[in-house]
Amino acid sequence: MKILAVLLCTTALGGCSLFSKKPAPAPAAVAAAPAPAAALNTTPAAASAKAAAKSDGKGFLPPGESGNVAIDSIVVVVNDDVITQRELSNRIKTVTARMKAQNVQMPDAADLRRQMLERMIVERAQLQMAKEMGVRVDDQQLDRAIGRIAEAQKLTVQDLRNQMEKDGTPYAAFREDIREEIIMQRLREHEVDAKIQISEAEVESFLAAEKAAAAEQFEINISQIMVRIPDNATAEVIAQRRARAEEVMRQLRTGADFAKMAATYSDASDALQGGVVGWRQPERLPPVFAEALTKLKPGQVTPIIKSVGAFHILKAVDRRSLAEAQAVAAVQQTHARHILIKVTPTMSAADAKRKLAELKERLDNNAAKFEDLARLVSNDGSAAKGGDLGWLAPGDVTPEFEAAMNNLKIGEVSQPVETSFGLHLIEVLERKSDDVSKERERNNARQAIRERKVEEAAESWQREVRDRAYVEFRTEDGAAAAK
């Protein structure tokens, strides 16, 4: 079970940029390289599971100390190391418990034992190879990695340690398990990832296949009318809001202009823009919206749709294939920043809206700087950067956020905007329109090809490591069974 994951995307509302890795240094340089800067992502339960399997150590119980406990035995010899029956049993026990907790159907005991043993053989062979190459992780690097694990779980290192020990896993065993995971990750990066090459012909072939697939996909230009349901609304209030939505629908059916109805009745932030949301792919919309919209022809509207906090009427303004959308060369990009206040049990949407309105008033009166307020009150990861989200392309943020942002002038601060993340104040810093779509396409293609190649090459490399290793299986009486 791998618990080491590299997190390449840190901005909640921004897009991810995936960069190709630089060629790895020579083995000696790899040994001295610092721990990966990316965060480690795991859960205390998952981390403790594998560590627990190793907590008993490898050796044997001396006869004088064993008492009624059976002496551990060797199951497999891997080069100059061994896997013991106790290690194997503990790993099987933890995996079995996890599979049962996840309601995963269990394989036969013999099949589970065989698969687990093979995994342990490959891991042991990789660690030996890393040792020969001088790949190592010192305690300082390990401490930083464990700190990132704790941070990803919103825990302190001491909290994480307490959780390990509560689950019955010695903290020292957990540390060594993480050390081994990092070592194997570095080894793979050096032996596999850094050797991946991608030709321009492969990129062209990938793009051609993507274009053919895009011809069958589509996106819809959407407008909306939203009638909000107040927090903690009574049945009577909900009925009143539904009646308002039904009145809107009645007027639409008799020929009323949708944009005018949106400006008159909608509670959405885009109301005064005629309810324009823009082009969206169905799979990027809530399923109930996507299902209703995909049945419409351009110009038609959906029935009233109820969500958790509102009644919605959506209009399919237009429809086009994804290939047509991708043919648009100029990409409008916006440099923006925001202040986010999340809705919590102690902070209602109404309270968050009032608080942001107060902040906007201070900004409008030049009584405060946007970046200072963002650092003080924003609940987003961008707070440390003054709320700066960097350059945003279409589709990088939620539809509500993007619609409000696109309607702002440079230097203008929005009214409070509600999205699934909470409520925002948005400021547009600058805009640009660059002919970057082609290069962006090619970069995305290279990354997709790289991910596929790395996965295939890693599997092949692991088989080679396994095949090169001296592996000797032992029978219950300790004799060699096979090599």
pLDDT of 66 over the 70 cut: no
The residue-averaged pLDDT of 27-41 equals 37
Token digits of residue 258 = 């949708």
pLDDT of 360 over the 70 cut: yes
Distance CA 16, CA 386 (A): 19
Q: How far is CA 111 from CA 107, 115, 123, 267, 402, in A?
A: 6, 6, 18, 59, 51
Q: How sure is the predictor about 117, in pLDDT bands with cuts at 50, 70 and 90?
A: very high
Lowest mean per-residue pLDDT among 59-68, 151-160, 222-231: 59-68
User: What's the pLDDT at 476?
Assistant: 60
Distance CA 155, CA 188 (A): 29
Token digits of residue 409 = 């002038």
Q: How far is CA 33 from CA 29, 30, 134, 138, in A?
A: 6, 5, 11, 10
The residue-averaged pLDDT of 453-476 equals 86
The residue-averaged pLDDT of 377-406 equals 90
User: What's the pLDDT at 61?
Assistant: 44
User: What's the pLDDT at 164?
Assistant: 83
Distance CA 215, CA 184 (A): 42
Would the CA dihedral through 414, 427, 406, 268 be positive or negative? Answer: negative
Residue 380 near residue 12 (C-beta atoms within 8 A): yes
Q: How sure is the predictor about 215, in pLDDT bands with cuts at 50, 70 and 90?
A: low
In this structure, the chain runs to a length of 483
Q: How sure is the predictor about 95, in pLDDT bands with cuts at 50, 70 and 90?
A: confident
Q: How far is CA 128 from the centre of its chain?
A: 32
Strand, coil or helix: what is 184? helix
Helix segments in 135-257, DSSP class H: 139-152, 157-166, 171-191, 200-214, 235-253
Residue 322 near residue 218 (C-beta atoms within 8 A): yes
Distance CA 78, CA 483 (A): 10
Distance CA 151, CA 459 (A): 31
Distance CA 311, CA 468 (A): 64
pLDDT over 70 percentage in the chain? 80
User: What's the pLDDT at 9?
Assistant: 35
Token digits of residue 64 = 């004088």
* pLDDT, averaged across the chain: 81
User: What's the pLDDT at 2?
Assistant: 35
- Write the burial class of residue 186 (CB in 10 Å: 0-12 exposed, 13-18 middle, 19+ buried): buried
Q: How far is CA 293 from the centre of its chain?
A: 27
Q: What is this structure's pTM? A: 0.45
Between residues 465 and 43, which one has the greater pLDDT? 465
- Of the spans 34-43, 95-104, 421-430, which averages the highest pLDDT? 421-430
Would the CA dihedral through 370, 376, 378, 384 be positive or negative? Answer: positive
Would the CA dihedral through 433, 439, 443, 445 be positive or negative? Answer: positive
User: What's the pLDDT at 167?
Assistant: 77
- For residue 250, count other CB atoms closer than 10 A to its CB: 10
* 266-295 pLDDT tens trace: 998 888 888 998 888 888 888 889 999 988
Pick the closest to residue 316 from 301, 338, 306 (CA basis). Answer: 301
Q: How far is CA 328 from CA 205, 227, 262, 324, 438, in A?
A: 21, 34, 29, 7, 10
Residue 225 near residue 312 (C-beta atoms within 8 A): yes
Q: How sure is the predictor about 58, in pLDDT bands with cuts at 50, 70 and 90?
A: very low
Distance CA 187, CA 190 (A): 5
pLDDT of 148 over the 80 cut: yes
